[in-house]
Amino acid sequence: MIYIETGSDNVYHNFGLELYFAAEKKLDEPVLLFWRTTPTLMVGKYQNTLEEINQSYAEQHGIQVVRRLSGGGTIYTDPGGWQFTFIDYNEDAQITFTQYIAPVVDALRALGVPAEFNGRNDLVIGGRKFSGNAQYKQGGTTVHHGSLLFDTDIAQMVASTTVDPYKILSKSIKSVRDRVTNTSEHLPQPMDTDAFKQHMVRYLMRGSERVYTPTEQDLVRIRQLAAERFDNWQCKYGANPKFEIVKTGRFAGGKMEFRLTVKKGIIQDAAVSGDYFAAERADRLAQCVIGCAYEKTAVLSALQRAGMDGAVYGVSAAEIAMLITE
């Protein structure tokens, strides 16, 4: 086993590094990464980002959004949690979790934490989840990565993944607290996040002391992969499957309801209804957003180009753009 210190809490860099050592620079033994991020929402490969996250909350609170190369659900991570990655150079085409999860469970039990594998892809303590795991294959390489809630901000986790603005947040937090837990709450003795990392790395390395430090040449390519495969709008939102969405808003000028069809992040069809008052040019309101990226700035720009500022009584183009995209 070879350990690589990512040297970064930037999720795009770390996923770029993960992909680089999985697909382009294969070492002579399996690789272990143990890393963390700034507040981040990690969306599964096959998910619709906009159905999984509270985009406006994420933007307001500086929470990064990234699409993983692995399947599974959306998770929230922050500096109070850890991520681990096993990069295994094998030819196994099947998705298998046990061989990668078992040593993590053993490492936690060595600390006195009664961790268990739930049989699908989660680790639990007393039935409460503290770790999600996912996996993908890349040219004969298995990449298994997982999260470990240690001292994660549960309230922010709930707020950033609660899409329906009409849900009562306090109830959502209580519901999540009943289903998830932080590892730190189950340690027999207090331990800070860095000491926890040191223990986990030492245990997962299984006696190996091999370390690889990325060269400047490595880092140049890692930065390229981070930008090309993770840190851009197309990867985060453009890869969304086709979906239909209804957005309803009440304004000083009346109620407006948009029905949108979005495919690969582009508005394919749109219709608007409501009890609002509007100038004649507002008849083109729905038509002018078709072909736009499903993103607030792009929609607002299209509305303004079409002269929709002031076209609807008591509703600005900015308010319409916000309704459509948030």
Write the CATH number of the domain with boundaries 243-325.
3.30.390.50
Superfamily covering domain 2-238: Bira Bifunctional Protein; Domain 2 (3.30.930.10)
Beta-carbon-side half-sphere exposure of residue 186 (alpha carbons within 13 Å):
23
pLDDT for res 163: 60
Mean pLDDT of 89-100: 78
Whether residue 289 is predicted with pLDDT greater than 80 in this model: the reply is yes
Helix (H) or strand (E) holding 308: none
Q: In this predicted model, what pLDDT tens digit does every residue of 101-141 receive, in sequence order?
A: 999 999 999 999 999 998 778 899 999 999 998 888 887 89
Do β-strands 254-263 and 266-274 pair in parallel, antiparallel, or remain unpaired? Answer: antiparallel
With both helix axes pointing from N to C terminus, report the angle between 98-110 and 193-204 in degrees, rounded to the nearest 10.
130
- Rounded distance, CA 153 to CA 130, Å? 12
- Please report, as a single letter, which amino acid is at residue 205: M
User: Within a 10 A sphere around the Cβ of 307, how many other Cβ atoms?
Assistant: 14
User: Within a 10 A sphere around the Cβ of 149, how many other Cβ atoms?
Assistant: 28
Name residues whose C-beta falls within 8 Å of residue 277's C-beta, 6 or more positions apart in sequence. 253, 254, 312, 313, 314
In this prediction, residue 93 has a pLDDT band, given cuts at 50, 70 and 90, of low
Least confident residue range of 148-152, 277-281, 291-295: 277-281
pLDDT for res 178: 65
- Beta strands in 38-77, from DSSP E residues, in sequence order: 40-43, 64-67, 75-77
Mean pLDDT of 268-275: 83
Q: In this predicted model, what pLDDT tens digit does every residue of 219-259 receive, in sequence order?
A: 999 999 999 999 998 888 877 667 788 888 888 777 888 88
Do β-strands 40-43 and 64-67 pair in parallel, antiparallel, or remain unpaired? Answer: parallel
Mean pLDDT of 303-322: 88
| Contact (CB, 8 A) for 308 and 282 | yes
The strand pairing partners of 31, in sequence order, are: 2, 87
Mean pLDDT of 320-325: 92
In this prediction, residue 286 has a pLDDT band, given cuts at 50, 70 and 90, of confident
Q: In this predicted model, what pLDDT tens digit does every residue of 129-181 receive, in sequence order?
A: 999 988 888 878 989 999 999 999 999 998 998 665 444 444 454 556 568 89
Q: How far is CA 142 from CA 86, 121, 202, in A?
A: 8, 15, 22
Q: What is the pTM of this model?
A: 0.77
Give me the residue spans of the domains in the chain: 2-238, 243-325
Q: Which of 84-88, 292-296, 307-311 is most confident?
A: 84-88
pLDDT for res 280: 61
Whether residue 279 is predicted with pLDDT greater than 90 in this model: the reply is no
pLDDT for res 21: 97
- Rounded distance, CA 152 to CA 80, Å? 4
pLDDT for res 167: 42
